[in-house]
Amino acid sequence: MVGGAIARIDQNKCAGCGLCENVCAYKAIEMNKEGKAEIKEALCKGCGTCVTTCRMEAPGLSGFSDEQVLAMIENAVS
């Protein structure tokens, strides 16, 4: 059981390029037998590097959807 924000991969968006696996400092991403990225949840620290690297927008951080981040920004500036 892990807590906090961790990355999730949308398998439908993943192109299998491996960029996220290469940039993950915690070795929390590996390619599965289908050639798609998978998160090893126990190793993921939720840093978001994979999210910013992926050209296909396949990874996302739990608790940090676009809508949630926009709501936080809107709340901060109002």
| Residue that wins the pLDDT comparison between 68 and 17 | 17
Domains and CATH numbers, the chain: 7-77 (3.30.70.20)
The pTM is what? Answer: 0.76
Beta bridge partners of 7: 61
The pLDDT tens digits of the residues spanning 30-69 come to 999 999 999 999 999 999 999 999 999 999 887 777 787 7
Torsion angle defined by CA atoms of residues 63, 65, 41 and 24, in that order, rounded to the nearest 10 degrees: -120
pLDDT at 1: 54
Mean pLDDT of the region 1-17:
86
Return the ∠ at Cα 14 (arms to 73 and 23), rounded to 5°.
70
* Three-state DSSP state, 38: strand
Per the prediction, the chain carries an average pLDDT of: 90
pLDDT band at 21 (very low <50, low <70, confident <90, very high): very high
